[in-house]
């Protein structure tokens, strides 16, 4: 009786210690992303601020995908479509501000761009989700990719907006107080957005909604047997995921000032999925870690050799084979070993 009673506090203590260490790792990651890019920019290394801005924006998209992949077990191969829609929500009004045809207030207004990006992404996610979520497994993967490719070819056919050649954004989204023309301001907005979205996903994952998604991922038949309508929860998560990726597209359009249908190609969806898997879909900051490693490796290896895709692909294969839960599993394993050592 005494042994059982004393074992429980030890178990709770180890669990609390592991949670504390994971929080410290998260805090360290936030500090690095908050301080390092600013220091590099102020010391004259402006290129690295561009790298980190792109990194943070793609991390937002990866977190959005992980909302359905990590929590709901829904493997979507078409989330790049939402990024493209968000970017074109900035580019098309900017085009009309240059060549006329729309109200100047709407074409410059950042709130209009943002509302358009989120609305279009939500509607497209709702329509595709209603159909896609009636399938499972490989069929779900293929139908999400099919919808994304349909949008890709639809944008290619719009010759007014550049077609396959893309479209240059002459005017960034304008807001009353902040100016996205300033690189540091754009990075700050992207970074703060990432923190807020990660926090929201964390709250969702620990809510009844998130627990229902996880239950549907583990055993959907049992959830249906106890009277839970998994379909509506999965559809709501799918729409939220699409909206987050649409917001990432809004930021990406303002960052690159150039958009093209290539943003929506299925290979871009694969890159976002790789970021999630590489970092770890079960860890809150896993997609962010995956985005950091993906972008940094891509830049470093491309500087070493023009055939950088080969070593990069081998590293990804290694991570999938030996790191089943991504790079986050290394952190969790080291923490558990440290806890046993104590």
The whole-number pLDDT of residue 60 equals 96
The whole-number pLDDT of residue 14 equals 54
Query: Mean pLDDT over residues 53-71, rounded?
Result: 93
Per residue in 228-253, pLDDT (tens digit) is 888 999 999 999 999 999 999 999 99
The whole-number pLDDT of residue 267 equals 87
Cα separation, 11 vs 139, whole angstroms: 42
How is residue 103 annotated by DSSP? -
For helices 46-69 and 266-279, what crossing angle results, to 10°?
Answer: 80
Query: Mean pLDDT over residues 16-22, rounded?
Result: 63
The whole-number pLDDT of residue 98 equals 60
Per residue in 273-289, pLDDT (tens digit) is 988 988 888 788 889 98
Beta bridge partners of 179: 174
The whole-number pLDDT of residue 341 equals 46
Q: What would the DSSP string read from start to end of 159-219?
A: GGGTGGG-EE-SS--B-SS-BTTSHHHHHHHHHHHHHHHHHHHHHHHTSHHHHHHHHHHHH
Other beta carbons less than 10 A from residue 15's beta carbon: 11
Residue boundaries of the structural domains of the chain: 28-265
Residue pair 151/124 in contact (Cβ under 8 Å)? The answer is yes
pLDDT exceeds cutoff 70 at 217: yes
Query: Mean pLDDT over residues 43-48, rounded?
Result: 88
Residue carrying structure tokens 């104590």 = 342
Query: Mean pLDDT over residues 168-180, rounded?
Result: 87
Cα separation, 305 vs 317, whole angstroms: 19
Comparing C-alpha atoms, which of 159, 169, 155 is closest to residue 268?
Answer: 155
Candidate from 33-42, 180-189, 222-231, 325-334 with smallest mean pLDDT: 325-334
The whole-number pLDDT of residue 340 equals 47
Query: Counting Cβ atoms within 10 Å, is residue 43 exposed (0-12), middle (13-18) or buried (19+)?
Result: exposed
Comparing C-alpha atoms, which of 297, 284, 324 is closest to residue 26?
Answer: 284
pLDDT exceeds cutoff 70 at 334: no
């Amino acid at each position: 009786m005494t042994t059982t009673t004393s074992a429980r506090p030890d178990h709770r203590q180890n669990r609390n210690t592991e949670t504390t260490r994971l929080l410290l790792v998260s805090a360290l990651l936030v500090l690095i992303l908050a301080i390092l890019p600013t220091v590099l920019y102020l010391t004259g290394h402006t290129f690295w601020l561009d790298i980190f801005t792109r990194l943070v924006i793609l991390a937002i998209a990866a977190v959005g995908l992980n909302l359905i992949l990590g929590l709901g077990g829904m493997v979507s191969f078409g989330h790049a479509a939402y990024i493209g829609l968000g970017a074109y929500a900035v580019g098309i009004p900017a085009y009309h501000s240059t060549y006329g045809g729309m109200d100047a207030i709407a074409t410059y207004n950042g709130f209009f761009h943002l509302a358009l990006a989120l609305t279009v992404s939500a509607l497209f996610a709702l329509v595709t989700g209603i159909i896609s979520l009636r399938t499972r497994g490989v069929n779900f993967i293929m139908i999400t990719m099919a919808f994304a490719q349909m949008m890709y070819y639809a944008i290619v056919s719009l010759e007014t907006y550049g077609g396959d050649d893309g479209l240059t954004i002459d005017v960034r989204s304008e807001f009353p107080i902040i100016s996205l023309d300033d690189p540091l301001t754009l990075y700050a907005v992207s970074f703060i957005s990432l923190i807020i979205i990660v926090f929201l996903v964390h709250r969702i994952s620990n809510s009844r909604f998130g627990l229902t998604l996880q239950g549907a991922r583990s055993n959907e038949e049992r959830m249906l047997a106890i009277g839970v309508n998994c379909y509506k929860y999965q559809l709501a998560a799918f729409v939220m995921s699409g909206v987050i990726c649409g917001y990432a597209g809004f930021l990406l359009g303002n960052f690159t000032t150039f958009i093209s249908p290539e943003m929506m190609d299925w290979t871009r969806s694969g890159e976002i999925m790789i970021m999630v898997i590489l970092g770890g879909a079960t860890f809150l900051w896993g997609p962010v870690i995956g985005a950091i490693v993906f972008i940094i490796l891509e830049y470093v290896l491309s500087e070493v050799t023009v055939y950088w895709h080969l070593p990069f692909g081998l590293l990804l294969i290694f991570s999938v084979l030996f790191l089943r839960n991504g790079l986050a599993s290394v952190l969790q394993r080291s923490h558990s070993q440290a806890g046993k050592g104590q």
